């Protein structure tokens, strides 16, 4: 088809390329392979032009103005408000999410973030004065935020709108231009972004590139001013490796096995509230398919039966219908989760749920007690509706357990014990620690969100997003009024004495030395 090779929008070209790659396994003829290579070449040309256009836009300077940034944020807000129903439909198609969950976790959270950025943008953009010592007199200094340039953002499939637009808010606030690569595992959401972002945002400053893994690999071959990636540790390593070729800075939002800890709460109302928040933190956000979701639970042995009974009753109360549960995203993910339960010892630890429907890719909310610690369910991130419970004789023994594991994105602890809280803060390391709740840290714009160690690096949300995509440029100003000749050779012991006093900011000693009263 000759029209296949006519100039097309970049998103169309890359989708066609992905389809041809898939078909090439069954059509190995020379003609098919030649067409695949031709489309691959065309894709490279298209990407070259796309990156060049973004670079030219940034170099023009228009994205640096307050007016441009404000206009982009307002347009993004307009998109969220006018296309709410379309977002509901896309996320239901991709993940089976209930529209109320979609608004809570994605649309509403994004509206809040945009409003916060609009309210604070002028302040964030304003340079901050910096102290200069008297020894540098006369001088002044300030720290001026400047945009990094051309950014590449990779988003994830579990919150495909939220995890695409949340970093974009920071990138636009900071005055950058952006390529956004949504996850192909959520195709309806990816298509929504590709279709609507050009209608609302500056087409020459924000590009959406759709496509498969090959497209992502192709994008990584270019030089970017920063790469922001949300996803798995495995792909995060690939991103870092590619970025190293160009010394490109990277921010990785990964995950890990986030634990929750339930102390033996004495009041029944506190117990129920804690269980509500644990159930919400495990199954309430994308049905356990969330990087900040609760992965497993610590409970004291004496409190176990109480916790299990409350968990069972609360799950039944929160999820009386399947429509309130997000679906497992793909057959591959369903098979991975199912395989976690195939170990006989793991299966033997199930105390609630465990039913599986391969036709609908449904796994019932499942509770397990003390599965083997060396089993895959306890060594790999679960990312699904399975909740292992680890029992301890003393709840504070969890600290030693956590110190021996990779640092998680979050630790959730439900306790009134202030000494225990202090120990958790002082003796464990995680992206964040939350007492007596779960997930809510993601919605707070005034604190940074991000990981540490294996759970990622780089913080964003609110002002931290602005700072992540900005360079804090120091600006030092001096004049020609004074000149200190001790800075220059030829050297002598007098200059050495002068510098010893100067670097200690010993101004009285300097005065005495200049007056000849100090040796």
Q: Are 464 and 174 a contacting pair, CB within 8 Å?
A: no
Q: Are 408 and 298 a contacting pair, CB within 8 Å?
A: no
Q: Look at residue 452 and give its three-state secondary structure.
A: coil
182 vs 353: CA distance, rounded Å = 33
CA separation, residue 366 to residues 58, 287, 291, 349, 496 (Å):
50, 11, 18, 10, 72
* Both tokens assigned to 414: 């439900």
- Tally the C-alpha atoms within 13 A of residue 444's C-alpha that lie toward its C-beta: 12
243 vs 237: CA distance, rounded Å = 10
Q: Where are the beta strands (DSSP E) in 292-375?
A: 296-300, 350-352, 356-357, 362-363, 366-369
- Tally the C-alpha atoms within 13 A of residue 430's C-alpha that lie toward its C-beta: 28
147 vs 175: CA distance, rounded Å = 5
Backbone angles phi, psi at 320, to 5 degrees: -75, -20
513 vs 519: CA distance, rounded Å = 7
Active site residue 444: no
487 vs 499: CA distance, rounded Å = 8
Q: Are 102 and 159 a contacting pair, CB within 8 Å?
A: no
Backbone angles phi, psi at 77, to 5 degrees: -65, -40
457 has which bridge partners? 252
Cβ-based neighbours of 413, under 8 Å, separated by 6 or more: 260, 261, 263, 420, 421, 424, 433, 434, 435, 436
Virtual CA dihedral for 332, 333, 335, 341, nearest 10 degrees?
160
* Both tokens assigned to 441: 């840290």
Catalytic residue from among 258, 286, 291, 398: 291
Q: Are 228 and 154 a contacting pair, CB within 8 Å?
A: yes
Q: Look at residue 206 and give its three-state secondary structure.
A: strand
Catalytic residue from among 253, 300, 381, 467: 253
140 has which bridge partners? 477
- Residue with structure tokens 């097309």? 8
Q: What is the largest CA-CA distance in the chain?
A: 93
Active site residue 253: yes
Active site residues: 253, 291
């Amino acid at each position: 088809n000759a029209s296949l090779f006519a100039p097309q929008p970049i998103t169309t070209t890359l989708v066609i390329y992905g389809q041809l790659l898939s078909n090439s396994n069954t059509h190995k003829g020379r003609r098919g392979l030649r067409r695949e290579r031709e489309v691959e070449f065309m894709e490279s040309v298209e990407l070259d032009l796309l990156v060049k256009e973004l670079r030219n836009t940034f170099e023009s300077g228009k994205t640096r103005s307050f007016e441009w940034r404000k206009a982009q944020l307002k347009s993004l807000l307009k998109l969220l408000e006018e296309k709410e129903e379309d977002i509901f439909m896309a996320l239901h198609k991709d993940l089976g999410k209930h529209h109320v969950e979609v608004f809570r976790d994605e649309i509403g959270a994004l509206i809040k973030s945009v409003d916060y950025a609009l309210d604070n943008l002028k302040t964030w953009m304003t340079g901050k004065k910096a102290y200069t010592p008297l020894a540098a007199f006369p001088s002044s200094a300030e720290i001026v935020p400047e945009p990094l340039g051309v950014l590449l953002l990779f988003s994830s499939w579990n919150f495909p709108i939220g995890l695409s637009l949340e970093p974009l808010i920071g990138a636009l606030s900071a005055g950058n231009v952006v390529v956004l690569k949504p996850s192909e595992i959520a195709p309806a959401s990816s298509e929504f972004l590709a279709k609507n972002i050009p209608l609302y945002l500056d087409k020459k400053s924000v590009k959406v590139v759709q496509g498969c893994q090959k497209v992502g690999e192709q994008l990584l071959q270019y030089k970017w001013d920063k790469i922001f990636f949300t996803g798995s540790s495995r792909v995060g390593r690939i991103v870092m490796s590619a970025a190293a070729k160009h010394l490109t800075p990277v921010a990785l939002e990964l995950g890990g096995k986030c634990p929750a800890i339930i102390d033996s709460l004495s009041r029944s109302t506190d117990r129920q509230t804690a269980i509500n928040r644990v159930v919400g933190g495990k199954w309430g956000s994308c049905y356990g398919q969330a990087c900040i979701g609760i992965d497993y639970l610590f409970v004291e042995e004496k409190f176990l039966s109480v916790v299990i009974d409350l968990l069972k009753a609360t799950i039944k109360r929160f999820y009386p219908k399947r429509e309130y549960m997000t679906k497992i995203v793909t057959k591959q993910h369903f098979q991975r989760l199912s395989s976690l339960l195939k170990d006989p010892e793991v299966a033997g630890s199930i105390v609630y749920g465990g039913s599986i429907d391969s036709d609908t890719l449904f796994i019932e909310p499942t509770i397990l007690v003390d599965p083997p610690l060396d089993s895959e369910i306890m060594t790999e991130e679960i990312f699904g509706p399975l909740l292992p419970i680890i029992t301890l004789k003393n709840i504070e023994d969890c600290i030693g357990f956590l110190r021996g594991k990779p640092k998680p994105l979050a630790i959730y602890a439900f306790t009134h014990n202030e000494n225990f809280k202090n120990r958790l803060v002082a003796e464990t390391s995680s992206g964040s620690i939350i007492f007596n709740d779960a997930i809510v840290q993601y919605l707070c714009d005034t604190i940074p969100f991000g990981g540490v160690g294996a759970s990622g690096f780089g913080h964003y949300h609110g002002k931290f997003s602005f700072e992540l995509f900005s360079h804090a440029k120091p600006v030092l100003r001096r004049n020609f009024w004074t000149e200190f000749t001790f800075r220059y050779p030829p050297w002598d012991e007098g200059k050495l004495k002068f510098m010893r006093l100067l670097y200690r900011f010993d101004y009285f000693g300097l005065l005495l030395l200049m007056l000849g009263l100090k040796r």
